[in-house]
A and B are shown apart, each in its own frame.
Chain A
Amino acid sequence: MKGQGTTRAKWLVVLTAFALFAVACSDSGSSTAPSAAAPSAAAPSEAPSEAPSEAPAAMYKIGFSNTGGTGNGFREEQNCTAKAEALASGQVESVNMIARNADTAQQLADLRTLIAAGPDAIVFNPSTADGLQAALDEAQAAGIITVAVDAGVSDEETWKFYNNQVDYAYLGAKWLFEQLGGNGSVWYTRGIAGHPADTDRDVGFKKALAEFPGITVVPNEDGVHTGWDPTTATNLANEFISSGEYDKVDGIWTSGMDSQVVDAVKAAGKPYKPIVGADLGAFAAYLLDDVNYPGLVGAAVTNTASVGGAGVNLALKLLNGETVTADASAPLPNTILLSPVLADNQSEEGKATLKSWQTVEGLSPLWPLSVTIDGWTTYTPEQAIACKGPGE
């Protein structure tokens, strides 16, 4: 017995020695730089003046980080369009994707993991505007292009491609307040606390609120955060209804967790209140369904999740040295802003617009209806739904 124990212990010592040896050997042939990117990669902030004369032969590696909202249709579409764009472009060798619910420190870790994989560009949905600076600096020092989608970051060198979230909130809130005749109380539901898009939307909401002094906000002007999580949104709506607070409000502003609120109201058998949401499949369908949702008054504001695919497209343009023009009106340099559009179910024009958005067969009802962006995506809607990247 002692012999067996001694033998095992010796094996352990040998394994330990192997461990030290392996760590020591890992130095050999190491390369601190990522795989070579196109010459333009080193200076993404200075848009090159000349486009290449022929299609690039380079195959790039793309890293993609999406933090928070796992299971949320918007995030899923964002991930899938990123994969689809990488596949459709024919220029991407692989997409390293890390998508999980995590905090800023963990997204920093995810970005560092992606840097270690040696990509040519990293596309990411930022959890905060300022907290990722260290990893962005490290990526740029290694010659990696960084592109933020869905929201902006304070880093000037990073390219930003996102929906104008201030306008998104302003358009919907203004429409809602007008529906209420400028008087009444509104339940204010938000997204992830601290997410730059949530912060921008708060600015837009408050801008509209300032124009309508007769409007009050429930539970308070900070609103309530759903974390852009469908389950959390449903729970909050159920609690709001069962507490009796729902009966006291006149309208609801949501940050995209819209169909969950409508479902909860319908399940509770309560009358609908005017509601604003995003251009998500289920919500837009509810707005047009007079049979199953009679009396539902609402408006949807576009917030395409195709920014995931567009971010990959932008990264490839930069890697290939193509000219990219930033939006001069954006608050930060290297920013491309999309303008949101509102469509309600109260006007014929609005209904026609809502119908025109519903063109893609087989789309998940929780996905935003706008699956592509002209000039910024090259995949087909079917490729987005298939959700396959290169090599998958």
Chain B
Amino acid sequence: MSAVAGPIVDTRGRPVVDALVAWARRNGWTLSLIALLAVLLAFTKVINPSYGAPGIQGLAISVLPLALAAVAQAVCVIGGGIDLSIGSMMALTSVVAASQMKDQSEEFGVAVILAVLILGLIIGAVNGAVIVITRVPDIVVTLAMSFVWAGAALLVLKTPAGGSAQWLKDLVLGPAGFDWIPKAAVVLIVVVAVIWIPLRRSTVGLSIYAIGSDRLAAFRSGVAVGPTKVIAYATTGLFAALAGISLTASTGIGNPVPGPYTLMSVAAVVLGGVSLAGGRGGVFGPMIGVLILVLIQNDMAFLSLDPNLALVSQGLILIGVVMFGSLIQWRRSRR
């Protein structure tokens, strides 16, 4: 946008190209991930020629909870933390939504979803507040809180049960008018854009990056470190709640036992180019990272590989990709 609005546009258009190149350099990792995703999609098409619009729709609905979990994780990692309670928060919000929506009207379902989103904000903020007040490391607090939220989920529902408003199911299932555009993908992009883009461009968003990058420098620059951290974790809780709601939307029930979303979200964040040291990265990369991780799983199934071998392969590929990224960053730092 700055290239278009800028005053210096010569007849050869070089500034536009330079700006594009500069933008590409800034987003090199994400573009590389997109390229890898494209290669994987092409590979998928080769090994499974019938892979088409239904496959893309299935992929989109499958990645939705994990993508939202990855975005949730990315926000607190950017802020210099990590949240190991995301899977449990998803379980809690999912069972609360499912238990309250069962046999209720469609309109009541809207109120339930709004309440669950607020619940997500609150439990996320509790995570952040405990970290700020106790000064116990994030990893310890969130690990402990993962048991708290998982136990709370089991208090709400002992076994998978509950229900979902039909409009919620319809919101994520099927195509959005055109077969190749799944509703789940539209929902994901809209939800993330509506929450994350204004937040990132706000003072609070800049503060989250600042405390993640250098906590002391941020403090000396006047950033309220504690409240910012609480806001970062509250945002993580909000996205975790959205991920939990997406579980209920896709299954039509709530499951109190947390799935393996926490560690997958960490893997997706690392793969997505977010620095675990904080302060660097965005939420788009982790979303692509999730797509890659899930597509690798799918390809393993299409190839009829032994399921145990598929798990091993997925881990090795993840390590390989992250090592490759580290190598690039190391070479860049040497120049």
Chain A positions within 8 Å of B, measured between CB atoms, are 1, 5-6, 8-10, 12-13, 15-16, 18-23, 26-27, 29-35, 79, 94-106, 108-110, 112-118, 127-128, 130-134, 138, 142, 193-194, 199, 222, 389, 391
Chain B residues with CB below 8 A from A94, complex form: 304
| Closest Cβ–Cβ distance, residue A12 to chain B (whole Å) | 4
| Closest Cβ–Cβ distance, residue B13 to chain A (whole Å) | 15
Chain B residues with CB below 8 A from A99, complex form: 307-308
Given A104-B160, A113-B298, A130-B253, is A16 in contact with B307 using a C-beta cutoff of 8 Å?
no
Structural contact, B160 and A193, CB atoms closer than 8 A: yes
Which stretch in B44-52, B206-214, B315-323 binds the other chain?
B44-52
Question: With an 8 A cutoff between CB atoms, is B77 at the interface?
Answer: no
Structural contact, B304 and A6, CB atoms closer than 8 A: no
Chain B positions within 8 Å of A, measured between CB atoms, are 20-22, 24-25, 28, 31-32, 34-35, 37-39, 41-42, 45, 48-55, 58-59, 61-62, 65, 158-161, 169, 173, 179-180, 247, 250-253, 255-260, 294, 297-298, 301-302, 304, 306-308, 311, 335
| Further 16 A-B residue pairs, CB within 8 A, beyond A26-B45, A33-B50, A96-B302 | A12-B25, A15-B35, A19-B35, A22-B38, A26-B52, A30-B51, A32-B52, A32-B53, A95-B304, A100-B311, A105-B65, A105-B259, A108-B61, A115-B58, A133-B252, A389-B304
| Closest Cβ–Cβ distance, residue A114 to chain B (whole Å) | 7
Contact of A113 among B50, B257, B301 (CB under 8 A): B301
Structural contact, A131 and B252, CB atoms closer than 8 A: yes
Given A105-B251, A105-B255, is A142 in contact with B54 using a C-beta cutoff of 8 Å?
yes
Query: How far is B32's CA from A70's CA once the two chains are assembled, in angstroms?
Result: 35
Chain B residues with CB below 8 A from A132, complex form: 251
Given A30-B50, A108-B62, A131-B251, is A19 in contact with B38 using a C-beta cutoff of 8 Å?
yes
Nearest neighbor of A30 in chain B, beta-carbon distance:
B52
Structural contact, A134 and B28, CB atoms closer than 8 A: no
Query: How far is B292's CA from A312's CA once the two chains are assembled, in angstroms?
Result: 31
Q: List 13 A-B contacts (CB under 8 A).
A: A6-B25, A12-B25, A20-B38, A26-B52, A27-B52, A30-B52, A32-B52, A32-B54, A103-B258, A113-B62, A113-B298, A116-B59, A199-B159
Nearest neighbor of A109 in chain B, beta-carbon distance:
B62
In order of increasing CB-CB distance, the 6 nearest A-B pairs are A19-B38, A30-B52, A112-B58, A109-B62, A15-B35, A194-B160
Chain A residues with CB below 8 A from B31, complex form: 12-13, 15-16
Contact of B51 among A102, A114, A116 (CB under 8 A): A116
| Closest Cβ–Cβ distance, residue A8 to chain B (whole Å) | 7
| Closest Cβ–Cβ distance, residue A17 to chain B (whole Å) | 9
Contact of B259 among A5, A96, A106 (CB under 8 A): A106
| Closest Cβ–Cβ distance, residue A138 to chain B (whole Å) | 7
Chain A residues with CB below 8 A from B52, complex form: 26-27, 30-32
Structural contact, A138 and B54, CB atoms closer than 8 A: yes
Query: How far is B31's CA from A79's CA once the two chains are assembled, in angstroms?
Result: 40
Query: How far is B37's CA from A116's CA once the two chains are assembled, in angstroms?
Result: 18
Given A13-B24, A134-B169, is A193 in contact with B307 using a C-beta cutoff of 8 Å?
no
Chain B residues with CB below 8 A from A112, complex form: 58-59, 61-62
Nearest neighbor of B259 in chain A, beta-carbon distance:
A103
Chain B residues with CB below 8 A from A106, complex form: 259-260
Query: How far is B28's CA from A272's CA once the two chains are assembled, in angstroms?
Result: 65
Query: How far is B50's CA from A35's CA once the two chains are assembled, in angstroms?
Result: 8
Chain A residues with CB below 8 A from B58, complex form: 109, 112-113, 115-116, 138
Chain A residues with CB below 8 A from B258, complex form: 103
Given A113-B58, A134-B252, is A34 in contact with B38 using a C-beta cutoff of 8 Å?
no
Chain A residues with CB below 8 A from B260, complex form: 101-102, 106
| Closest Cβ–Cβ distance, residue A70 to chain B (whole Å) | 8
Structural contact, A19 and B253, CB atoms closer than 8 A: no
Query: How far is B304's CA from A110's CA once the two chains are assembled, in angstroms?
Result: 13
Given A6-B21, A96-B302, is A15 in contact with B251 using a C-beta cutoff of 8 Å?
no
Structural contact, A12 and B252, CB atoms closer than 8 A: no
Structural contact, B180 and A27, CB atoms closer than 8 A: yes
Structural contact, A108 and B51, CB atoms closer than 8 A: no
Structural contact, A31 and B41, CB atoms closer than 8 A: no
Contact of B53 among A5, A30, A108, A128 (CB under 8 A): A30
Nearest neighbor of B295 in chain A, beta-carbon distance:
A113
| Closest Cβ–Cβ distance, residue B183 to chain A (whole Å) | 12
Query: How far is B299's CA from A98's CA once the two chains are assembled, in angstroms?
Result: 11
Chain A residues with CB below 8 A from B48, complex form: 116-118
Structural contact, B55 and A134, CB atoms closer than 8 A: no
Query: How far is B294's CA from A94's CA once the two chains are assembled, in angstroms?
Result: 22
| Closest Cβ–Cβ distance, residue B33 to chain A (whole Å) | 9
Chain A residues with CB below 8 A from B22, complex form: 9
Chain A residues with CB below 8 A from B53, complex form: 27, 30, 32
Query: How far is B61's CA from A251's CA once the two chains are assembled, in angstroms?
Result: 46
Nearest neighbor of B65 in chain A, beta-carbon distance:
A105
| Closest Cβ–Cβ distance, residue B300 to chain A (whole Å) | 8
Chain B residues with CB below 8 A from A31, complex form: 49-50, 52
| Closest Cβ–Cβ distance, residue B180 to chain A (whole Å) | 7
Given A26-B45, A194-B159, is A18 in contact with B250 using a C-beta cutoff of 8 Å?
no
Contact of A13 among B20, B159, B247 (CB under 8 A): B20
Nearest neighbor of B258 in chain A, beta-carbon distance:
A103
